[in-house]
Amino acid sequence: MIGRLLALIRKEALAIRNDKKSLFVVIVPPLIQVLMFSFAATLEIKHIDLAVFDQDGTHTSQELIQNLKGSAYIQKLVRVGNNHEISELINTQQVLAVLVIPNGFGKEVLNAKANVQLLLDGRRSNTAQIAEGYLSSIVQTFFLSKQPVTRAVTIQTRFFFNPNLSNFWWIVPNLFGSITMIVAMLLTALSIARERELGTFDQILVSPLRPFEILVGKLVPALLISMLESILILLFAIYLFGVPLMGSLTILYTGVIVFLFSISGIGLFISAISNTQQQAILGSFVFLLPSILLSGFATPIENMPSWLQPLTALTPLKYYLILIKGVFLKDISWEIAWTLIVPMFFLGIVFMSITMIFFRRRSR
């Protein structure tokens, strides 16, 4: 059995190596995506286009405008003179926000009762909410600086696990998980479909190999290549983006192996029901997009509707991302790691069992 299995693994590895186009697609683009998405996928807002409608025209309002101009978050500040200009700028998305300083603002500041109006483009809801926080902070700081006696409470803020709120520390571990998943999925999804297209699948079926051995032979090379890809991404994360690795490499790669096993089970299932590589690729993306959305990659699971949250438990990427960020930033223990590794392993067993059933039916 071992000899037959090793021969099939060697054959599959050679098939992957000789399929230059597919190998290029699953190796090179993911590495490029790590570089691109690490800079592109950010929730930071550093370039706000702001318009100001100064109805007060006093020294105090001008001082506030200068404070806004000097902020690192403001890219462009435009002065407007009427409501029509405000509507035009927002409708054409030339500005994200408009600050309206009403008449009497200078006097109200001295009386500690000043009000301003902030108009934001709701079409860019997430960006608008973040910009509102930045602009409100600037206005509040300016207001407090004008009070003769400041009795405001000073809040000393400290951020655990990411003290500088570096975007790379958040996005790169997430990309480590999602891109590794894509590589493993595509490699396994193409494996059996490739055999059908080349006409060699029937030859494997009439060989002494049993269905379980065939699946294992398809699984192992994909796991090894995906592991290699994950090592390259790990090196990028540590040495290029400066993400700290606080935890154990043993915990990390135990999680990587179990996660790749669970994802490969899904990839082999897609491959088993696909007749062509094109069908396999399309089938992979039917799974990949919902998996990324339900994993908590971009939005917290707690913010999802209550009826949708239980479905996230069926997504191996959910546990994998928690594990990765825990190892990178928190130095989690084995006790915590097992609570994430075991569900991934269980899902992998379920997916492989379903794949075995469909593979046997398609092989008859």
Instruction: Give the three-state DSSP class for 288.
Output: helix
55 — phi, psi (to 5°)? -90, -10
pLDDT in tens, 214-246: 788 778 888 888 888 899 999 999 999 989 999
Distances (CA, A) of 109 to 71, 106, 144, 149: 21, 5, 9, 13
At residue 344, the pLDDT reads 94
48-145: CATH number: 3.40.1710.10
At residue 324, the pLDDT reads 93
Instruction: Give the three-state DSSP class for 344.
Output: helix
DSSP structure string for 88-132:
HHHHTTS-SEEEEE-TTHHHHHHTT----EEEE-GGGHHHHHHHH
| Contact criterion met (CB below 8 Å) for 181 and 288 | yes
Half-sphere exposure (Cβ direction) of 333: Cα atoms closer than 13 Å = 2
Phi-psi domain of 332 (left: phi exceeds 0; alpha: psi -120 through 50; beta: other): beta
Is residue 202 pLDDT above 70, yes or no? no
DSSP structure string for 208-260:
S--HHHHHHHHHHHHHHHHHHHHHHHHHIIIIIS-----S-HHHHHHHHHHHH
7 — phi, psi (to 5°)? -65, -40
At residue 335, the pLDDT reads 93
Question: pTM, whole model, 2 decimals?
Answer: 0.79
Distance, CA of 2 to chain centre:
40
Instruction: State the pairing for strand pair 97-101/117-120.
Output: antiparallel
Instruction: Give the three-state DSSP class for 364.
Output: coil
Q: Which amino acid is at 13?
A: A
pLDDT in tens, 325-348: 999 998 899 999 999 999 999 999
| Contact criterion met (CB below 8 Å) for 218 and 191 | yes
At residue 363, the pLDDT reads 61
pLDDT in tens, 287-318: 998 999 899 887 888 888 999 999 999 999 99
Distances (CA, A) of 88 to 59, 96, 199: 27, 12, 62
At residue 339, the pLDDT reads 94
Report, as an integer, the average pLDDT of 197-218.
74
Rounded CA gap, 243 and 168, in Å? 7
Of 52 and 124, more confident: 52
Q: What is the sign, positive or negative, of the torsion defined by CA atoms of 77, 83, 84, 89?
A: positive
Is residue 81 pLDDT above 60, yes or no? yes
pLDDT in tens, 121-169: 888 877 888 888 888 888 888 887 777 655 556 667 777 888 877 888 8
Distances (CA, A) of 82 to 7, 52, 85, 116: 78, 10, 6, 16
Q: Across the strands, what pairs with 118?
A: 99
At residue 22, the pLDDT reads 67
Rounded CA gap, 185 and 274, in Å? 14
- Neighbour count for residue 345 (Cβ, 10 Å): 20
At residue 149, the pLDDT reads 59
DSSP structure string for 155-179:
P----SS-TT--HHHHHHHHHHHHH
> Nearest CA to 73 among 49, 48, 53, 98?
48
**What ranges do the domains of the chain cover?**
2-41+163-363, 48-145
